Copies of this chain bind each other. A is one copy, B any other.
Amino acid sequence: MSPTKTPRGRGRSPRIVRIALAQVNPTVGDLPGNAKRVIEFLDRARAMGAELVAFPELVLTGYPPEDLLLRPDFIDQNMAALEEVARATTGITAIVGFAQRDGDLYNAAAIAHDGEIAAVYHKSHLPNYAVFDEFRYFRPGRNPFVVKRGPLTFGVNICEDIWLPSNPTLLAVYGDAELVINLSSSPYHMEKSVGRDRMLATRAMDGVSVVAFVNTVGGQDELVFDGNSRVFGPRGETLARAKAFEEDLLVLDLDLDEVFSARLKDPRSRELSQREDAITLPVVQLRPLPEPARPPLKPRRVEPPTGAVEIYKALILGTRDYVRKNDFNHVLLGLSGGIDSALTASIAVDALGPENVTGVFMPSPFTQRTSEEDATALSKNLGIQLITLPIEEEMKSYRSTLRTVFATATEDTTEENIQSRIRGNFLMALSNKFGWLLLTTGNKSEYSVGYTTLYGDMAGGFAVLKDVPKTIVYELARHRNGLAASKPWIPGRTIDREPTAELRPGQKDTDTLPPYDVLDPILKAYVEEDWEVERIVAMGYDRGLVQRVVRMVDWAEYKRRQAPPGIRITPRALGKDRRLPITNRHQPWRD
């Protein structure tokens, strides 16, 4: 099946239908704004001659709406927004995700047709793992059906529904319908789209049908949705794909004869609907509409990003959306001369433009001259404002006030934390005074082992690199420096120098931590994979070291509980997908 064959060459066939996938970026809670955006895309799809346009899961509420779903007025307003969208569907069919109040609450998809709601599908399988809590809100649906619209029979399901291979009535939809539309809000993590696309292609092949996957795009607190909407043909081949990490309207022509022809050759689709436990699916018949004019479609080729490119794009989108959707225009961050703050600043500039980013350099007596040079060079390369606030006077004040009470105590990390918290206070003062959002610069390796100061370098509204291991921080810095559009932003010395917090003379990260290329694989195994110590040791690491790292991770839970949100880029971040008790006497590091 080829998406470019129509309508040129064959003229207009009644068995060719034009469909559109509207990969939009909604904002959680913004019911009027989301409805407006949906209607804009709907109008664009209509203008392009599409007969049918599909939107992502819960597009009207944004995803995930979390406990907003427990407010009756919120649900009612989302129903009103759906009515508004439905009224705008003159001459077209739209599939729109919303939360349906119908005695109980359902994660739902409305089939709106020519100004009215023709049917509503209820999500059948509710995810309740990782970042998902859908059992908290919804009743599982039990109402599969197919829809007939002119020559086309299509079915609808929602996100998790298509991940489950087992439900016989849902499977029957694949067999009965020529097109199955899956509405998703499928959050990004590295390489997730590989497994997702493989699964979707398999579902299309199993049902000998077209599968159209329409996904949300955009950032929402910890989550980034990657878009990457995609259409698969009845042999699992890709018919079309939308962009990654930006809004897109994907329009294509489907030749139903090709699905029919494929089915005649491949009888599996019949078996799906003839299992003993399959029911006869209800049919929703849409009333006929005049055929829209069909302007020719431009050929398009979208190459999905991979590796560092993909991660960097995710971080830009996550940062931009957190800032903008929370009504900030400007961000600030501390620049230390080190790589974490340099990368965070680069992402902020790519997300918001240099005029909306301010760097703050806060030297202490322990700050090396090279740090100041590198922070200055970075801010010049980026074209951002740099404010310098030395912290020495405040250090003296604290030391003096605490002299008596600390008289018999020896110096330790307390004095280092005081410095870090002085800086946190300065950054928050600028944030409060000027209404700027404070970006936090810590990375996942540091947050994992608690190599951070609560209310100090952890202070801030958004932690851009919170889920980025230090080894990937280096990859991303090199990737950004290698982009052709500008000269390298991050000074070479910032990348090459040995990591240090500069909180005491000559301090290095490796005084406290193993080298990051040793630490990161241990952290991945423990934090992301739940491996026990023995299994990590068997990878070839020193037992004592693994035990120490595991102990640090567990001990630092209280710090992470008070950390700002950050962008999830791995299968398990340090946010809502990792819920550990603070009070916890499990000691997996013990021999």
Contacts and interface: CB of A to CB of B under 8 A. Distances in A.
Contact of A28 (B390, B398, B565, B581): B581
Interface string A392-429: 01101110111001100100111001100110111011
Contacts of A105: none
A322 B432 contact: no
A27 interface: yes
Q: Max chain B CB contacts within 10 Å: which of A421, A432, A586? A: A586
A530 B71 contact: yes
How many copies of this chain does the complex contain? Answer: 2
Interface in A116-134: 128-129, 133
A14 interface: no
A428 B421 contact: yes
A154 B433 CA distance: 67
A401 B394 contact: yes
Contact of A428 (B400, B428, B455): B455
A547 B409 CA distance: 51
A326 B581 contact: no
B29 A581 contact: yes
B414 A433 contact: yes
A414 B428 CA distance: 8
A221 B582 contact: yes
Interface in A160-208: none
A558 B133 CA distance: 20
B586 A30 contact: yes
Nearest to A398: B394
Nearest to A413: B432
Contacts of A402: 389, 426, 429
Nearest to A321: B583
A143 B276 CA distance: 27
**Most chain-B CB neighbours within 10 Å: which of A129, A390, A579?**
A579
Given A135-B128, A398-B394, A432-B414, A31 B586 contact: yes
Interface residues of A, number: 82
A480 to B, nearest CB: 25
A430 B397 CA distance: 15
A590 to B, nearest CB: 10
B27 A326 contact: no
A387 to B, nearest CB: 6
A393 B389 contact: no
Given A70-B530, A414-B429, A64 B581 contact: yes
A33 to B, nearest CB: 7
Most chain B C-beta atoms within 10 Å of own C-beta, residue among A326, A387, A428: A428
Interface string A548-590: 0000000000100111110000000000001111111111100
A585 B30 contact: yes
Given A558-B461, A581-B64, A428 B454 contact: yes
Nearest to A137: B129
B581 A220 contact: yes
Interface in A424-450: 424-426, 428-430, 432-434
Contacts of A27: 583, 585
Interface in A363-411: 387, 389-391, 393-394, 396-398, 400-402, 405-406, 409
A417 B413 contact: no
Contacts of A326: 558, 582-583
B429 A417 contact: yes
Nearest to A63: B581
B432 A532 contact: no
A58 to B, nearest CB: 12
Contact of A393 (B397, B532, B563, B579): B397
A412 B455 CA distance: 21
With a 10 A CB-CB cut-off, give which of A33, A64, A426, A578 has the most chain B CB atoms: A426
A142 interface: no
Nearest to A78: B586
Contacts of A424: 421, 455
The 7 closest A-B pairs by CB, nearest first: A29-B586, A30-B585, A73-B532, A455-B455, A414-B432, A29-B584, A128-B135
22 contacts: A29-B586, A30-B586, A33-B585, A67-B580, A70-B530, A71-B586, A72-B532, A74-B586, A220-B581, A325-B583, A389-B405, A393-B401, A398-B426, A398-B429, A401-B426, A405-B430, A417-B428, A421-B425, A425-B425, A454-B459, A455-B455, A565-B582
Given A27-B585, A66-B581, A421-B455, 5 more contacts: A66-B579, A73-B588, A128-B136, A326-B583, A389-B405
